[in-house]
Amino acid sequence: MFSIKSALAKPFAKIVARKINRWANNPIETQEKVFSKLISEAKQTKFGKDHSFDNIQSHDDFVKHVPVRDYEMLRNYIDLVVEGRENILWKGKPLYFAKTAGTTSGSKYIPLTSESMPYHIKAARNAILMYIAETGNSTFVNGKMIFLQGSPVLNKKNDIQLGRLSGIVAHYVPKYLQKNRMPSWETNCIEDWEEKVNAIVTETLPENMTVISGIPSWVQMYFKKIQERTGKKVGDVFKNFSLFIFGGVNYEPYRSKFENLIGRKVDSIELYPASEGFFAFQDKQNEKGMLLQLDSGIFYEFIKADNFFDENPKRITLKDVEVGVNYVMIVSTNAGLWAYNLGDTVEFISIKPFRIIVSGRIKHFISAFGEHVIGKEVEQALKEGVEGLGIQITEFTVAPQINPDAGLPYHEWFIEFEDHSIDINALELKIDQSLQEQNSYYNDLISGQVLRPLKITKVQKNGFQDYMKSIGKLGGQNKLPRLSNDRKIVDRLEQLGLTK
């Protein structure tokens, strides 16, 4: 069936792809221009004056004058912005605050400015257009699209609008997509996640859904409810569903479960959005990793994760990064974040162009015994572990067991399986072997009999959903940490009686 919208999407996609390829093929020059513009624009701000931006001509100057900070360390400036003061971190006032869960300080308020906000929208749009340019598939633009997101209801704090990033972005859906967008505004505003998902199922079942997007763990919940309601595979309910867009967590642990729920394979696009910026998106279907966004008002620095907690770790720019090294990513942005530690770790899998994978969080690791195990390693180990065994994973997290009732300490994997009739011993062996192959420290501890091989503890059906509900983080953009250096999460699972 001919569609003007579908026909116009293809030439538009090719134009956008050419623009993206231009800066992707000139990465260092592109980043130098971004750096210079950021410094120039912020010279008259309080932060710029406090950090001698007038004297910054190079990255070396920047390192000398601007230390790496996380939210807590930047908070004395952010608090002034929240109070409604102008020209603090960036010129004028921000358009919005993206409210996120904090650590020691309660909620965090991440500024979004008139300069930064458009890039959040453009990057998501460009990810889809790059997919169209590569595959030639544009028929999905005729159908309905859904993004499982937080409520778009915004509040005000000192005359600045405040909400979740996904809710703020909902206000920027282009006019040409308004008729395609699901769910309805009223349903999207429902705060209770379970009530919201049930309402979304009711609204979407009669529709021609072609694109579905969101964090995999919560999309999985939506898919399961569709299957419960209809008794059919999602792909049979939505026969034209052809594109899954996701971000926030690694899709691989969910892939086999999703394919079972859908009943067939569909193309997917991975995104790397955050309140602090939209950093990368998958630009090729047959290439691993995501294209780092170099022309989006963000200047990147990197610190080797192994050296991050040293007294004065070296900060490098793109021109010095290496493939296969785990880096903490540091950003300076046109929202007024300067040498800001996101807490994310990334690994470059290509430098022509610069493509990354998110390898974990600098605070989410296990090193209770000096093993330095990171998120990427446990996800890869689980992927290799279930291969060939026909096992589907719903969710998982890993914690150290330092004081077992008997024997050596070990890593304890808490896994929610779709089918509980599996050979746990075989799975434990495969996962442990993969982890030893990936991590020499872990291998040494096992072979040196400091640790025993890992142990799996089963989590009840919907156990992780019940856990997230118990801490007030069910749905939206909330994510379960893959691993921890303590047992706070798993102790709570056990307290709630959610383990077997």
The number of residues in the chain equals 500
Query: What stretches of 374-480 show up as alpha helix (H) in DSSP?
Result: 375-386, 424-438, 440-447, 463-470
Task: State pLDDT tens for residues 381-406.
Answer: 999 998 888 888 999 999 999 889 99
Give the mean model confidence (pLDDT) for residues 434-456. 90
Please report which confidence band the pLDDT of residue 369 belongs to, taking 50, 70 and 90 as the band edges: confident
The partner residues of 100 in beta bridges, in order of sequence, read 108
Contact 216, 464 (CB under 8 A): no
Does an H or E element contain 97, and which?
strand 96-100
Give the mean model confidence (pLDDT) for residues 460-473. 90
Residue 481 in this model has a pLDDT that exceeds 90: no
What does R_g of the chain's alpha carbons equal in angstroms? 23
At 3 the pLDDT is: 62
What tokens appear for 497 in the block?
Answer: 């009686």
Task: State pLDDT tens for residues 210-251.
Answer: 999 988 888 888 999 999 999 999 999 999 999 999 987 778
CA separation for the pair 161, 152 (Å, rounded): 11
> Minimum mean pLDDT among 53-62, 271-280, 321-330, 414-423: which range?
414-423
DSSP state of 358: E
At 202 the pLDDT is: 96
DSSP state of 139: G
At 2 the pLDDT is: 44
Contact 345, 329 (CB under 8 A): yes
Q: Which amino acid belongs to residue 46? A: K
**What is the pTM for the complete model shown?**
0.84
Phi, psi values for residue 315, rounded to 5° = -100, 125
Strand runs labelled E in 131-208: 144-147, 155-157, 160-163, 181-182
Residue with tokens 């624009």: 41
Question: Which SS3 state, helix, strand or coil, does residue 350 take?
Answer: strand
In order of their start, the domains of the chain are 1-360 (3.40.50), 365-495 (3.30.300)
In the chain, what percentage of residues exceed pLDDT 70?
97
How many CB atoms lie under 10 A from the CB of residue 94?
24
340-351 and 298-304 as β-strands: parallel, antiparallel, unpaired?
unpaired
Secondary structure tally for the chain: helices H, strands E: 18, 20
At 86 the pLDDT is: 96
Residue 168 in this model has a pLDDT that exceeds 50: yes
Residue with tokens 């006019």: 175
Does an H or E element contain 326, and which?
strand 326-333
Among 342, 337, 372, 381, smallest CA distance to 358 is for: 342
DSSP state of 271: E
At 251 the pLDDT is: 82
Task: State pLDDT tens for residues 327-357.
Answer: 999 999 999 999 999 989 999 999 999 999 9
Phi, psi values for residue 242, rounded to 5° = -135, -5
Phi, psi values for residue 89, rounded to 5° = -100, -30
At 176 the pLDDT is: 66
At 460 the pLDDT is: 93
Give the angle 126-129-135 at the CA atoms, nearest 5°: 140
Residue 105 in this model has a pLDDT that exceeds 60: no
Give the angle 12-13-15 at the CA atoms, nearest 5°: 65
At 341 the pLDDT is: 94
What tokens appear for 453 in the block?
Answer: 């091989």
CA separation for the pair 448, 138 (Å, rounded): 56
pLDDT mean across residues, the chain? 90
> Minimum mean pLDDT among 80-94, 176-190, 258-272, 461-475: which range?
176-190
b/e code 235-263 from CB counts within 10 Å (16+ = b): bebbeebbbbbbbbbbbebbbbbbebbbe
Give the angle 242-247-252 at the CA atoms, nearest 5°: 75
CA separation for the pair 146, 181 (Å, rounded): 6
At 103 the pLDDT is: 46
Q: Which amino acid belongs to residue 231? A: G
Peptide bond into 353 cis (omega under 30): yes
Residue 102 in this model has a pLDDT that exceeds 60: no
Task: State pLDDT tens for residues 170-210.
Answer: 888 777 667 788 998 899 889 888 899 999 999 999 999 99
CA 68 → CA 302, 330, 385, distances in Å? 11, 8, 38
CA separation for the pair 117, 360 (Å, rounded): 25
At 485 the pLDDT is: 84
Residue 365 in this model has a pLDDT that exceeds 90: no
The more confidently predicted of residues 365 and 162 is 162
